Structure 1
Amino acid sequence: SNLALNIWIIVLLIYSYTASILPVNIILQPRDYLSTFILFFGLICGYLGLMLTRPQINTPAFLGWTAKQGPLFPMLFVFIACGAVSGFHSLISSGTTVKQLDNEKNALKIGYGAMLLEGALAVLALLSVTAGLSWINKEGTGCPVYPELLKTGDWIGTFSAGYGRVVSKILGITFGCLVATITLNSFVMTTLDTATRITRYITEEFFGKGLKIKIFNNRFFSTSIVIFFAGYLAFGNWKAIWPVFGASNQLIAAIALIVVSLWLIGQKKSAFFSGLPGIFVFLVTVSALLYQSFVFLNQKNNLLFVISIILVFLSFFILFEVYSFLKNRPK
């Protein structure tokens, strides 16, 4: 019901506020530690289930072209965001992960290992819906149909139904669906409090240290501002700004790669391996933003049009900063 949903939103906002203002080792780190057991359990059971049930992929390899979401290039690169390259993850690694390292040398194993594990989770999720579910309704099979489930908008239930059938020989369908739901919720919960903390950092750095507005240096005030806008979106139409998430996320990824490249250049080291993908992601993302700007303008969607234009402006500001660094760096 709406009442239950609103209560949960308030509870989660209070939790996010608390987790953001407290030191990392009080709530965030122990919660992350406990979540790993749930995530690894779900991941291991999922792959064991795939090996035992050996489900057949019945999803068509190609369904046809559609221009509903825009041209394949460059929009494909901003729709498939987190699983490929994610600017949000670069903020997390520089904002909270670094505070939990015993030794800087562990960063390579943790960063690379996390990338491999996220890829493994993505493959499991993909196989759960393409092999665990049916694409067409076959009488007598009792297998949930993927397109029908997806139409309901319950993407968590869709994944859970497929995962439950994949692990049916280990956990049973009912318990398997429950494990999938808990695993996914645990995965999302780690994003909720961490994202709040990172947004608080950005708010403090931009308004407090950058614009010299002293009150924003207070973590209680900065977090309150973040939670206020988060609550406004949660209780309102948060989907209104969702269409620009992919492009904004990839733009941050491009910035992260470019910053790393500039640091390597400053250290007189090769920056090819980070600079080339950084330039590619940057150009593709800006192209997508320009395309989306014209689409939003034609749709008279002023909010998304303004956001897209601001992001394009910031993109050119980044180019200016890169040029200034390369021009003024010591030889």
Structure 2
Amino acid sequence: MPLFAPAGDSFWHSLKSSVCIWTLILLVYCFVASILPVWTLLQPRDYINSHQLFVALALLALGILAARPDFVAPAINPNPPADAPPILPFLFITIACGAVSGFHCLVSSGTSSKQLRAEKDAQMVGYGAMLLEGALAVVVIVACAAALGMGVETPNGHLAGIEAWKAHYHGEWGAMTLGKQVGAFIEGSGNLLGVIGIPAKMAVAIIAVMVASFAATTLDTATRLQRYVLQELAAAAGDRRILGNKYVATLAAVAAGGALALIPGPQGMGSGGMILWPLFGATNQLLAGMACIVIAFYLIRHNRPVWIMALPIALLIVFPAWAMIRETAKWADQEKWLLVGFGAAILLLQAWVILEALLAWQRARGVAPAPLPPLGAEATAQD
């Protein structure tokens, strides 16, 4: 519900739009949630969101079993958009978190680890969560590639089958915005829920809440992780008083996110984050490759077999880097210099980490890391 009606095109008038007002409210929430102990606000909020997600996922699973929709999306599109990227390497970064997720690796160390009852629960929680994430990815594929064909309403009337799918997935590749992608999922999911007796408007509301819940779980968690990163960088540089302070580091994280969110983007004020959205898929998978390198170092330090990590590391270094190089070259042709700068920086950082890993590999064999201090030994351990 809008708090203010849009009042003109100027910067200050645009700040009164409902999108910007809610953005500012959420930024304040992120600051508060990120400086409090995990169990004070972030964990209860996650607890509520998890129930929303479980209920929605269970309803979608029931809908799939009841509807048994046929896939209408062609296995091979005979008329792909002229500007569509090649299957290789982009197939492996399109379904990002549902296959493998570098961001979730950061979350597991930054927030999940602080909520475990015991260390032995980490395998069940971590592995089980990613299996569920993969199941959700399969549900999304079914909703977009099959359930969408059960029928959609368009300006040209009711469409079903492959024509319904084409109504969403047509035109140029670049015109397939995030909003259109989410819209296809919501409509397809609404069809599935309709089969089990949920009215169309309620079904759309349930799925919209589900999508918003995913965004909500990311906001405060990502802010907290960014605060950790800033504090660790400050500690490495010998600065524990300024950016090493959790309040200053959190303020810097929130300010950076707020500046990006509030600058004019593709959809106007409040959509600045969409400017960097094209970086997400490849960056997420590159982070997963870096996480696999960390896992390999854990194994070699404890004299355990490390060969099992060779193929995942190779795939998660080569394919995302390949995609990022192609995208960066395309952005350079389009003179999108901000994306070019970030893309090039990410590739350079990846190369740096790989070089550091190669240099440290032999020195790490059999050298177990120092034991961690007891829980609560430091005041920051409970942040």
Question: What TM-score does the superposition give when structure 1 sets the normalisation length?
Answer: 0.91
Alignment correspondent of 2:206? 179
Alignment correspondent of 2:94? 79
Cα deviation 1:154-175 (Å, max 9, x = unaligned): 4444322222221113322221
- Structure number with higher helix proportion: 1
What is the CA distance between 1:188 and its match in structure 2? 1.7
Q: Give the 3 Å change call, closer, same or farther, for CA 38–317 of structure 1 in structure 2.
A: same
Asked if 1:211 is matched to 2:249, the reply is no
Q: Relative to structure 2, which stretch is displaced further, 77-86 or 130-139? A: 130-139
8 Å CA contact 1:21, 1:197 repeated in 2: yes
Q: Give the 3 Å change call, closer, same or farther, for CA 120–329 of structure 1 in structure 2.
A: closer
Gaps of 5+ in 1: none
What is the CA distance between 1:35 and its match in structure 2? 1.3
* Match for residue 216 of structure 2 among 169, 189, 200: 189
Alignment correspondent of 2:277? 242
Q: Letter of the aligned partner of 2:164 in structure 1?
A: V
Asked if 1:107 is matched to 2:104, the reply is no
Asked if 1:145 is matched to 2:133, the reply is no
Alignment correspondent of 2:377? none
Listed as ranges, the matches of 1:215-234 within 5 Å are 215-234=242-261
8 Å CA contact 2:303, 2:365 repeated in 1: no
Asked if 1:53 is matched to 2:67, the reply is yes
What is the CA distance between 1:256 and its match in structure 2? 0.5
Alignment correspondent of 2:370? none
Q: Relative to structure 2, which stretch is displaced further, 156-165 or 172-181? A: 156-165
Separation in structure 1 between the aligned mates of residue 347 and residue 157 of structure 2, nearest angstrom? 53
8 Å CA contact 2:98, 2:134 repeated in 1: yes
Asked if 1:163 is matched to 2:189, the reply is yes
Listed as ranges, the matches of 1:14-25 within 5 Å are 14-25=28-39
Asked if 1:254 is matched to 2:289, the reply is yes
Separation in structure 2 between the aligned mates of residue 211 and residue 67 of structure 1, nearest angstrom? 48
Q: Relative to structure 2, which stretch is displaced further, 42-51 or 23-32? A: 42-51
What is the CA distance between 1:314 and its match in structure 2? 1.5
What is the CA distance between 1:135 and its match in structure 2? 8.4
Asked if 1:311 is matched to 2:360, the reply is no
Gaps of 5+ in 2: 7-16, 170-175, 266-272, 367-383
Cα deviation 1:222-258 (Å, max 9, x = unaligned): 1111111111111123232222222222221111001
Q: Relative to structure 2, which stretch is displaced further, 12-21 or 167-176? A: 167-176
Q: Give the 3 Å change call, closer, same or farther, for CA 14–154 of structure 1 in structure 2.
A: farther
Cα deviation 1:183-217 (Å, max 9, x = unaligned): 221122111111111111111111x1122233011
Question: What TM-score does the superposition give when structure 2 sets the normalisation length?
Answer: 0.79
Separation in structure 2 between the aligned mates of residue 45 and residue 37 of structure 1, nearest angstrom? 12
Q: Letter of the aligned partner of 1:103 in structure 2?
A: A
What is the CA distance between 1:69 and its match in structure 2? 4.4
Separation in structure 2 between the aligned mates of residue 256 and residue 67 of structure 1, nearest angstrom? 35
Cα deviation 1:63-90 (Å, max 9, x = unaligned): 1355624333223323332121111010
Q: Give the 3 Å change call, closer, same or farther, for CA 140–67 of structure 1 in structure 2.
A: closer
Q: Give the 3 Å change call, closer, same or farther, for CA 293–128 of structure 1 in structure 2.
A: closer
Separation in structure 1 between the aligned mates of residue 280 and residue 158 of structure 2, nearest angstrom? 39
Q: Relative to structure 2, which stretch is displaced further, 92-101 or 281-290? A: 281-290
Separation in structure 1 between the aligned mates of residue 219 and residue 74 of structure 2, nearest angstrom? 35
Separation in structure 2 between the aligned mates of residue 177 and residue 121 of structure 1, nearest angstrom? 17
Alignment correspondent of 1:280? 315
Percent of pairs with identical residues: 35
What is the CA distance between 1:300 and its match in structure 2? 2.7
Structure 1 segments (4+ residues) deviating >3 Å: 64-67, 135-158
* Match for residue 327 of structure 1 among 343, 352, 362: 362
Asked if 1:292 is matched to 2:327, the reply is yes
Separation in structure 1 between the aligned mates of residue 23 and residue 96 of structure 2, nearest angstrom? 26
Separation in structure 2 between the aligned mates of residue 325 and residue 279 of structure 1, nearest angstrom? 18
User: In angstroms, what is the RMSD of aligned CA positions?
Assistant: 2.5
8 Å CA contact 1:92, 1:198 repeated in 2: yes
